[in-house]
Amino acid sequence: MSELSTPSNPRVLSSMPLCRAIGLRCERGGRELFSDLSFTLDRGVMLELRGPNGSGKSTLLRALAGLYPDVDGEIDTCDLAYFGHRGGLSPTLTVAENLAWFSGLAGTTADDVPGLLRRVGVPYPNRPLSELSAGQQRRVGLARLMMTGERKPLWLLDEPLTALDSAGEALVGELIDEHLACGGGVVCATHQDLPVVPGLRIELGH
Amino acid sequence: MRHSSGPACRAWAAHRVRPLNALVAQFLRDWRIALRSRHEMTTPLMFFAVVVMLFPLAISPEPEQLAAIAPGVIWVLALLASLLSLEGLFKRDFSDGSLEQMVLSAEPLFLAVVGKLLAHWCAASLPLVIFAPIAALALSLPLEALSTLLASLLLGTPTVACLGAVGAALTVSLGRGGMLLALIVMPLYIPVLIFGTSATSFAVAGLSVAGPLAWLAVLAGLSLTLAPFAVSAAIRMACEE
Amino acid sequence: MGMLKTFWHRLGSPPWMYGIARPWMWGFGVLAAVLIPAGLIWGLFIAPPDYQQSDAFRIIYVHVPTAILAQSCYLMIGIAGFVHLVWRMKLADVVLQEALVIGASLTALALITGSVWGRPMWGTWWEWDARTTSMLILLFLYFGIYALREAIPRPDSRARASALLAVVGLINIPIIKYSVEWWRTLHQPSTFSMVEQPKMPAEMYLPLLVLVLGFYAFMGAVLLARIRVELLNRESGSSWAQAEARRLLSS
C-alpha cells in the first residue's frame, strides 16, 4: 500500500488516536445539549452517536468537523471526511464530473471512477445527478467518501442510511468495515441500527 | 503511516497532492455549471441591454448628450449587472452542501476560491465586456474611445468580481441578501467606477489614458491577491452554523 | 486539520474590563467637560472673525472635530475587527459594535455641519467636494456594517462577519479617499478650502486643537460607558453582572 503522502501532518501517526474530545459542552437555544462529554477514538473503532431528534447528534458531528464553533471544550482530530445531510453534489453536473471536482479539490486526481461507481451500485458516470433518485445520490456521496481513501482516516457520518434501500444499508456496513479494517475510524450519528457493531456508543439527550 | 494491506484497503485516489488541481477543478466545475444554466449568464446581459435602451428615451437621443453620459452609464450598469450575477455565486453551493465540502476538503481553500472567482469572471463579466461596445455605439460613444472602454472594463471587472465575491460570501447564509449585498459592495466599487469612467472620458477628450488604466491594473492586482483570503474566511464563517 | 481549540481566547475578561473602564470613563468625561466648554468659548467668542467669511467660519469648531473623529472611529472599528478575526477576542466585538454607532452618528453630524457651512460658503447645501464625498462614502461604509450586523441573527457569526467587512473597508478607505480626490481635481481645480489654509492664525487654530482633544475625550467617555452597558447586557447570565445590576438598582 502507498504511504500517506502528507508527512507534513505529524498528527497522523499510527499510535495517535484519530479523534480526541475533552469536556465538550454545547448549549443551543438556551438548552444544554450535552456537557462534560469526553471520548477518544482509536484506529479501527466506530463510535455510534444515538439519541432522539434534536439531541445534538448532528451538532456534535459538525463540531468535530470544525463546522460548528459554538462548543466549549477541546477537540483534536486528524484529517476527516464529512458525509452530512446535504450531499455536497451539484445536480447540474454528471456523476463523474462531481467526483472529479471533489478529488481535484483535495489536490488529487481520481482514478478508476467507473470501478468506484460499480461498487456503490450507480454505474452511470455520465448522467446528471438531477436524473438520479435520492438513494442513488446518496450512493454517489458514498463513492466520494471512498475516494478520500487513506487521506482522510476519520469519517464523520450523519445518518448515512437515509434514503438507502436494504442493499444500500448493507453497502454502508461493508464500507465502514473496510475503512475500520484499514485502520480508519468512524463517528456515526444514526437512529437506525447499523450493520456494524460499534466499538463505542454515546447516548445523547438524557 | 501504513495501512494494513489487503484488497479492502484499495486506494481510490492518487495520493500526490498538487495544489493547482484545486484551482483547476473548481474552475472547471463552475464553468460547466454556468454553461449548463445559461439563463443565469444571459439574464444580467439582457438587463444591461434593456437599461441602456432607457437612457436615450429618458434623457435625449442627441448624440452629444448621449456620448457625454455613455462612459458613466456603461460602468454603472456593469456594476449593477454584476450584483445580479453575484447573488447566486455561492447561494446554490451553500444550499446543496458543496460549499461545506469545499471548506473541508479544498487544499488549499484559497486556491479553490481563486478558481471559483475566475470561472465567475469568465461567465458573468466577460460577456458584459464583449457586449459593451455595442452598448457604447448605441450611446454614440466615439469610436476612438472604444478600445479604452474595453481596456477599462477588462482591467476593472476583476476588481468588481473580487470585491463583490467578498460581499456575496458574507451574505450567503442570509435569506434575502440582495439589497444588503448592494449596500455592502457599492461603496467599495467607487474607485473602480472613478478610474473606469475617467479613462473612457479621457479617451473621448483625446487625453492620455495611461494613468487611470494603470490604477485599474493596480486595483485588480491588489484585489486578486487579497480577496481570495477574505472570501475563504467568509465562506468558512458561512458554513459554521 | 490541526488542533481545534474551541476555548475562547479570553484575553480581556468582561468583569475585569467592566471594572477598569470605570475610572477611564470618568477621566475622559472630566477632561471633555473641561476642554469642550473652554474650546467653545474660546472659539466662538474670543477668536477673531475670519477676514473672508466673518463669523460663518466658526462652525469649523464643531465640524472639524466631528469629521476627524468620524474617521478615527472607522480606524478603531477596523482594528477591533482585525483583533477579533485573529484572536477571536469577544471584547473586540463589543468595541466594534459601540464604535460603529458612535462613528456613524459622527459621520452624519460632520455631513450636516459641513452642509450648514457650505450654504454661506458655496451658496449651496450640498457640494460634491472631495471631502464631502469621501465623508458620504464613509457613512455608507458604516451603514453597510450596521446592516450586515442587523441581518445576522447568531451573535458569533455576526461578530465575525462584521469584523471581516470592517477590515475590508479599512483596507479600501485610503484607495477610496485617493480616488475621490483624484476625481475631484479632474472636474474642478482645487476648491477653496478653509481648513487647509496655512495662514490660519494661532488664535483661530488653538481653540480648534482644544476642541479636537475635547471631542476625543468625549468620544472616549461615551465609548467606555456604552461598552460597560453592553458588557452587562451580554453577560447578563453571569453572577458578576447580576450582582452589579443589583448594586446599581439599589443605589
> Cβ–Cβ contacts within 10 Å for residue A77, how many?
24
Mean pLDDT of B150-163: 96
Q: What is the pLDDT of residues B178-202, one digit of tens each?
A: 789 999 999 999 999 999 999 999 9
Predicted local confidence at residue A4, as pLDDT: 37
Residues of B in contact with A67 (CB under 8 A): 100, 103-104, 239-241
Mutate to test the interface with C, among B90, B152, B194, B202 (most CBs of C within 10 A): B194
Helix (H, G, I), strand (E, B) or coil at A193: coil
Which among A58, A105, A120 is the top mutation candidate for probing chain B, defined by the most B β-carbons within 10 Å of its own β-carbon? A105
User: What is residue B102's predicted lDDT score, i.e. its pLDDT?
Assistant: 94
pLDDT on residue B184: 95
pLDDT surpassing 50 at residue B151: yes
Residue numbers in chain A where pLDDT is lower than 70: 1-15, 206
Which pLDDT belongs to residue C171?
94
In A, residues 22-61, which contact B (CB 8 Å cutoff)? none
Touching check for C237 and chain A: CB below 8 Å?
A: no
- All residues of chain B having their beta carbon less than 8 Å from the beta carbon of residue A177 are 8
Chain A hits for C4, CB-CB cut-off 8 Å, are: 66, 74-77
Q: Which of B9, C156, C210 is nearest to A67 (CA)?
A: C156
pLDDT in tens, C94-110: 999 999 999 999 999 99
Task: Give how far B35 is from chain C: nearest CA, Å.
Answer: 31
Question: How far is it, in rounded angstroms, from Cα A23 to Cα A34?
Answer: 10
pLDDT in tens, C181-212: 899 887 654 444 545 555 677 778 889 999 99
Please check the confidence at residue B82 and state whether its pLDDT lies above 80. Answer: yes
Q: Whole-angstrom Cα distance, residue B125 to residue B129?
A: 6
Contacts of C148 in chain B (CB under 8 A): 170-171, 180, 184
For residue B239, what are the CA distances in angstroms to A161, A186, B90, B101, C65?
23, 22, 11, 9, 42
pLDDT tens column, C107-160? 999 999 999 988 887 788 888 888 889 999 999 999 999 999 999 988 889 999
Cα separation, B152 vs B150, whole angstroms: 5
Q: How many Å lie between the alpha carbon of C8 and the closest alpha carbon of chain A?
A: 8
Region B125-153: mean pLDDT is: 94
Q: How confident is the model at residue C88 (pLDDT cuts 50, 70, 90)?
A: confident
In this complex, the residue of C1, C3, C6 whose CB is nearest that of residue A71 is C6
Residue that wins the pLDDT comparison between A51 and B158 = B158
Cβ separation of A110 and B106 shorter than 8 Å?
no
Given a cut of 90, whether residue B229 has pLDDT beyond it is yes
Identify the closest residue of chain C to B197 by CA–CA distance.
C183
Contact criterion met (CB < 8 Å) for B184 and C161: no
Query: Closest approach of chain C CAs to the CA of A97, in angstroms?
Result: 26
Does A154 lie at the interface with B, CB-CB under 8 angstroms?
A: no
Contact of B154 with B129, CB cutoff 8 Å: yes
Is A77's Cβ below 8 Å from some Cβ in C?
yes
Instruction: Classify each residue of B226-235 as buried b or exposed e, where b means 16 or more C-beta atoms within 10 Å of its C-beta.
Output: ebbebbbbbb
Asked whether the beta carbons of A95 and A126 are under 8 A apart, the reply is yes
C-alpha distance from B144 to closest chain A C-alpha (Å)? 43
Domains of chain A: 1-89+151-206 (3.40.50.300)
B239: chain A residues, CB-CB within 8 Å: 67
Residue B64 at interface with chain A, using a CB cutoff of 8 Å: no
The angle at the Cα of B222, spanning B216 to B223, to the nearest 5 degrees, equals 90
Largest CA distance in chain C: 69
Residue B114 pLDDT > 60 = yes
Residue C15 — pLDDT band, cuts 50, 70, 90? confident
Best B109, B188, B218 member to test C by mutation, with max C CBs in 10 Å, is: B188
Instruction: Measure B146 CA to nearest chain C CA, in Å.
Output: 21
Cβ–Cβ under 8 Å, residues A112 and B12? yes
CB atoms within 10 A of CB A14: 9
- What is the model's pLDDT at position B107? 81
Interface test with B, best of C165, C173, C184 (most B CBs within 10 A): C165
Read off the pLDDT of each residue in B197-226 and give the average, rounded to a whole number: 94
Domain boundary assignment for chain B? 18-239
Q: Do B240 and A67 touch (CB under 8 A)?
A: yes
- Tell if the CB–CB gap between C157 and B183 is shorter than 8 Å: no
Is the sign of the CA dihedral A108, A109, A114, A115 positive or negative?
negative
Mean pLDDT of chain B: 89
pLDDT at A9: 42
**How far is the alpha carbon of C78 from chain A, nearest alpha carbon, in Å?**
23
Mean pLDDT of B104-115: 90
The answer, yes or no, to whether residue C19 has pLDDT greater than 80, is yes
pLDDT of residue B1: 28
Res C188: pLDDT: 56
> Interhelix angle for C202-234 vs C90-122, to 10°?
140
Q: Pick from B4, B105, B107: which is nearest to A181 by CB?
A: B4
Residue B178's CB: how many other CB atoms inside 10 A? Answer: 13
The 3-state secondary structure of chain C reads CCEEECCCCCCCCHHHHHHHHHHHHHHHHHHHHHHHHHHHHHHHHHCCCECCCEHHHHHHHHHHHHHHHHHHHHHHHHHHHHHHHHHCCHHHHHHHHHHHHHHHHHHHHHHHHHHHHHHHHHCCCCCCCHHHHHHHHHHHHHHHHHHHHHHCCCHHHHHHHHHHHHHHHHHHHHHHHHHHHHHHHHHCCCCCCCCCCCCCCHHHHHHHHHHHHHHHHHHHHHHHHHHHHHHHHHCCCCHHHHHHHHHHHHC
For the segment C68-77, the average pLDDT, to the nearest whole number, is: 95
pLDDT at C9 over 50: no
Neighbors of chain B by Cβ distance (3+ pairs < 8 Å): A, C
Largest pairwise CA distance in chain A: 49
How high is the pLDDT of residue C196? 52
pLDDT-derived band at C217 (thresholds 50, 70, 90) equals very high
